[in-house]
Amino acid sequence: MDDPQQDNQLQYILSDLGTRMRDMEERTSSLKERLKLINTNMIDSKEEIEQRVLAIEKQNALLAKDIEKINNTIQNILSETNNFVRKDEIILVERMLKDFQPLEFVRKKDLEEFQEKKKETQQKMEKIEEIIKEDKKSNPKEIKTRETAE
C-alpha cells in the first residue's frame, strides 16, 4: 500500500510541479512580452524625446540669433542717442529764439525796397507842396475858399 500511495503522491507532486512550471513559463513568457512592449515603448519615447530636444535646440539657436540682433540694435540705438538733443538744450534754444524774434527783422532787400518807396513818396510830396505853393501864389482867394469848404 505504501507504494501505490507513494506513487500517487509522487505523481500528484510531479503533476503539481508540471502545472507550476507551466504557470511559471506562462508568466515568464508574459513578462518577456511585457518587457518587449515596454522596450519598444521606451525606444519610441526616447526617439520622440530626442526629436523634441533637437527642435528645442533649433529654437534656442534661433532665439540666440534673434537676441544677438536685438542686442546689436540696442547698441546702435544707444550709440545714436549721443547725437540726440537733450531737453535742456531744446529749452535753451527756445529761449534764444524768443529773445531773437526773427519775425521782427527785415531782410536787406525789403529794407532797400522800403527806402526806395519812401524816397518816391517824399518826391511826390515835394512836388505836391510845390504845386500848392505855386497855386497859392497865383490864386490865394481860391485856396482859402477850398479850405473852408472842406
Instruction: Specify if 26 maps to a domain.
Output: yes
Q: Work out how many domains the chain is built from and give that number.
A: 1
Tens digit of pLDDT at every position of the chain (150 positions): 457 788 888 888 999 999 999 999 999 999 999 999 999 999 999 999 999 999 999 999 999 999 999 999 999 998 888 788 888 888 888 888 777 776 667 788 888 898 999 999 999 999 998 888 887 787 766 555 555 555
Its domain, for residue 17, covers 1-84
Residue 15 to residue 3: CA distance in whole angstroms: 18
Residue 14 to residue 8: CA distance in whole angstroms: 10
Instruction: Specify if 8 maps to a domain.
Output: yes
Instruction: Specify if 61 maps to a domain.
Output: yes
Instruction: Specify if 106 maps to a domain.
Output: no
Q: Is 47 helix (H, G, I), strand (E, B) or coil?
A: helix
